[in-house]
Structure 1
Amino acid sequence: MPAHDDATATDESTATATEDGQRDDFTVTPYEVSGTLDYEKLLEEFGADRLTAEDVRRFPDHPMLRRGIYYAGRGVDAYLDAAASDDGAGGTHSIVTGVGPSGPMHLGHALVFYLAKTLQDATGATVYVPLSDDEKYLSKDLTFDEVGEATRENLRDLLAVGFDPERTRFVLDSADADVVYPLAATFAKDVTMNQLEATYGRPDNVGMGFYPAVQTTHLLLPQLVEGAHPTLVPVAVDQDPHVRVSRDVAAKARYPVEKPGALLGKFLPDLAGPGKMSSSEGEAIYLTDDADAVEEKVLQRAYSGGRDSVSEHREHGGDPSVDVAFQYLRYFFERDDDALAALAERYRAGDLLSGELKLEAVDAITEFLDAHQRRRDALGDVREELEPYRLTDAERERALSAAGVPQL
């Protein structure tokens, strides 16, 4: 690891790309992503390590790992050692990845949860899914009722992923405040104002100033419940500052925890082209979109790497590296590497037209959403469905006791 692995002076990454001799400013924080991203520059700014071929081999097989979508991390070796299960000797290990419920979930939200399920199925990892409803109330122009409705709908999608309830805990900041708040108050003493502003900038309100302590609670909670063990946090690169703050808190050795590790991923592009998938109307494919909506969005709005005319495309071919339909297939929806390579070759050669490539993506995305929606629709009342995934009384007591929080 670089020496500034957990330093805070460079945590707020407003970096500069230098492709083609041009300097294009870009900003990546948990609350703003803008500009043309340079993922290599982000590794320098954030101080994370690129995943090696050996790292990828040691993970359970998944296209987003094989293809470098999740491309960097922190402390992955400890997690992989604990997850090793070929001889049944794997140790306790957990995954933490959550969502801020402010509206319907789209594909950009969902893929990390399906990755987490793959890891859980392969190695028996415990998965913690925090839902930061309080943060969305504090950071967006939403009422608590609106955030609550988004939370219920997000929970339906999370439950539809199919996590093992014996090894999964959903933690809602407001509903689980009896655990979240005392732990956050404890950790808040270990996050300085200088660190806060260096990492996130000046907060818009007092609540957002406190929120890094809540995020630290999310990331350290599995170890407070189950004892110190390797934890991996798979997130898009904009969420890495939360991991770094929690690692700083863990390093103070005031609590029986190890530094959580990180698995850092690139953004699924929105329909308009490369960049973070947006929740703006029409720019995202939602998990509740039907086949007609998916087809309309991809055919009419997805940025194409094809040529202006059929004849020109036949002669010169297209560019799959900027084509959004191809990128969706590459990120997740075409699992077969040989089939994906064949599509790219035919597209570059001009044998496959842009509209035909889009239809390939439509079919694959629709198949995925059909299966997800069938599981979603089969769920009953969310509160009842959620119950097996809640922290137990014993788990709550263990977490508070491990952090030294007095209990009445």
Structure 2
Amino acid sequence: MSENPPHDDESNSNQHVDTANGNSSDDDDFIVTPYSVSGEVDYEKLLERFGADPLTDSQIERFPDHPMLRRRTFYAGRDIDRYLEASESGESHALVTGRGPSGPMHLGHVLPLYLAKCFQRETGATVYIPLSDDEKLLAKEQSFDSIGEHTRDNLRDILAVGFDPERTRIVVDTADADVIYPIAVRLAKHLTPATVEAVYGEQGTVGLQFYPAVQATHLLLPQLVAGRQPTLVPIAIDQDPHVRVCRDVAAKEALPVDKPGALLGRFLPSLEGPGKMSASDEAASIDLTDDPDTVAETIRTHAYTGGQASLEAHREQGGDPSVDVPFQYLRFFFEADDEELERIAEQYRSGNLLSGELKEIAIERITDFLGAHQRRRAELGDLEDELEPYRLTDEECRQALERAGVPPSPF
């Protein structure tokens, strides 16, 4: 029996109507939806809203060792045990983590990709990375040309992560429409307007109303290509409604697939304080292509600290690492050693480490990470050639369409 059984969230999805529409109860001062995040997020209350379960200590121990799990940056999920059993036994298992190419990628976008790479390296997981260029055209005030430019740029950053091409498939919605669209149409038969509106609220275009079927296609694609297998979707918690809709579709048993699981994460803080880090916001962010001088200037100028107002007060009272953004960046990803992280925190609390000195530690760690990422990116050749080993093969497309019940094209 699962030690952390999932809630029956698919059977009564209308219970999430207010939350998904961006409304909150009278005693909440935050909003979390796939399209909007604001206020001080109460992550425990979100689990109640979304019907997900906190990760247990034993589950975290069974995952590949990673600071984002040890420190509960990823802190909750659905159907976690089923995925872990497959990864431990050597059975087929998959991850799906994608990208909406509406602009340059920044640190908050790439961290789930590096987590997926760790899982792939340690357990042999197959990783699917869909890019929703069509959805960004519908949701953003940008042209096809602009979205296409961002897509090509984002693909270079994804390739620079270093996934195993034998176990990785990168899908671009418009480029792979011959397989994505027919499956999405098949799934759309099992999505009602009421379900879409309950989860996403009223959509401004017919395209956005249809898009949840495309999103469900992304999450079910590993099983449609290679057969039933536990699939885990590591995402920030605001994207959980996409998983809930897909699980609802999969539960109807119209296709030979199981419901995908989810690994839900907290938001990398904005440099200016708590909340989701987003390139669509006006707040400063650190792009993956930023050079060391730009990173240093951004952190020194914009990073919110937990220090005191004066040097004397800081020496006497110490700083608060729980609200200090440079420290939180170290905690999320950029200081892997737990003992070293605690040493830095203790030095900061005692007042021996100043806010400016803590910023410099974060600058060093982040620029080291970006330097390695940028070197791999610079070594890439022609994008089409580099991408080819990661594309769906003709046979994989045929298998996916066949399992989805899409007949061969007569043309």
- C-alpha separation between the residues in 2 aligned to 1:321 and 1:231? 33
Deviates more, 1:135-144 or 1:27-36: 27-36
The answer to whether the 8 A contact 1:15-1:41 is kept is: no
Letter in 1 for 2:405: G
CA drift of 1:25 comes to: 2.6
Q: Which residue number in structure 2 is paired with residue 112 of structure 1?
A: 112
1:175-214 counterparts in 2 under 5 A? 175-214=175-214
CA drift of 1:282 comes to: 5.5
Q: Calculate percent identity across the aligned residue pairs.
A: 62
Letter in 1 for 2:74: Y
- C-alpha separation between the residues in 2 aligned to 1:37 and 1:15? 13
Q: Which residue number in structure 2 is paired with residue 81 of structure 1?
A: 85
- C-alpha separation between the residues in 2 aligned to 1:7 and 1:93? 28
Find 1:10's aligned residue among 9, 12, 15.
15
Q: Which residue number in structure 1 is paired with residue 245 of structure 2?
A: 245
Change (3 A) 1:3 1:217: closer
CA drift of 1:6 comes to: 5.3
CA drift of 1:4 comes to: 3.1
Q: Which residue number in structure 1 is paired with residue 121 of structure 2?
A: 121
- C-alpha separation between the residues in 2 aligned to 1:213 and 1:228? 19
Deviates more, 1:7-16 or 1:35-44: 7-16
Letter in 1 for 2:347: R
- C-alpha separation between the residues in 2 aligned to 1:277 and 1:217? 27
Q: Which residue number in structure 1 is paired with residue 3 of structure 2?
A: none
Q: Which residue number in structure 1 is paired with residue 333 of structure 2?
A: 332
Letter in 1 for 2:364: D
Q: Which residue number in structure 1 is paired with residue 101 of structure 2?
A: 101
- C-alpha separation between the residues in 2 aligned to 1:363 and 1:51? 32
TM-score (norm 1): 0.96
Deviates more, 1:218-227 or 1:278-287: 278-287
1:287 is paired with a residue whose SS is coil
CA drift of 1:384 comes to: 1.0
Deviates more, 1:384-393 or 1:24-33: 24-33
Describe the superposition over 1:95-132 as per-residue Cα deviations: whole angstroms up to 9, x where unpaired.
Answer: 00000001000000000000000000000000000000
Number of aligned residues = 400
Q: Which residue number in structure 2 is paired with residue 353 of structure 1?
A: 354
CA drift of 1:322 comes to: 0.3
Change (3 A) 1:36 1:282: closer
Describe the superposition over 1:83-105 as per-residue Cα deviations: whole angstroms up to 9, x where unpaired.
Answer: 00xxxx41000000000001000
The answer to whether the 8 A contact 1:99-1:130 is kept is: yes
Letter in 2 for 1:140: K
CA drift of 1:15 comes to: 6.3
Letter in 2 for 1:267: F
- C-alpha separation between the residues in 2 aligned to 1:93 and 1:128? 11
CA drift of 1:278 comes to: 2.4
Describe the superposition over 1:131-168 as per-residue Cα deviations: whole angstroms up to 9, x where unpaired.
Answer: 00000000000000000000000000000000000000
Does residue 1:45 correspond to 2:55, yes or no? no
Does residue 1:309 correspond to 2:318, yes or no? no
2:8 is paired with a residue whose SS is coil
CA drift of 1:3 comes to: 3.5
CA drift of 1:36 comes to: 1.5
Q: Which residue number in structure 1 is paired with residue 71 of structure 2?
A: 67
1:206-245 counterparts in 2 under 5 A? 206-245=206-245
TM-score (norm 2): 0.95
Change (3 A) 1:247 1:51: same
The answer to whether the 8 A contact 2:9-2:244 is kept is: no
The answer to whether the 8 A contact 2:92-2:230 is kept is: yes
The answer to whether the 8 A contact 1:10-1:199 is kept is: no
1:11 is paired with a residue whose SS is helix
CA drift of 1:281 comes to: 5.4
The answer to whether the 8 A contact 2:306-2:321 is kept is: yes
CA drift of 1:24 comes to: 3.9
Letter in 2 for 1:3: D
Describe the superposition over 1:264-321 as per-residue Cα deviations: whole angstroms up to 9, x where unpaired.
Answer: 0000011101110021455110000000011001111100100001100000000000
CA drift of 1:353 comes to: 0.2
- C-alpha separation between the residues in 1 aligned to 2:366 and 2:143? 33
- C-alpha separation between the residues in 2 aligned to 1:247 and 1:392? 26
1:8 is paired with a residue whose SS is helix
- C-alpha separation between the residues in 1 aligned to 2:201 and 2:278? 22
Please, which runs of 5 or more residues in structure 1 have no aligned partner? none
1:374 is paired with a residue whose SS is helix
Does residue 1:260 correspond to 2:260, yes or no? yes
2:29 is paired with a residue whose SS is strand
Change (3 A) 1:238 1:299: same
- C-alpha separation between the residues in 1 aligned to 2:192 and 2:240? 18
- C-alpha separation between the residues in 1 aligned to 2:241 and 2:208? 14
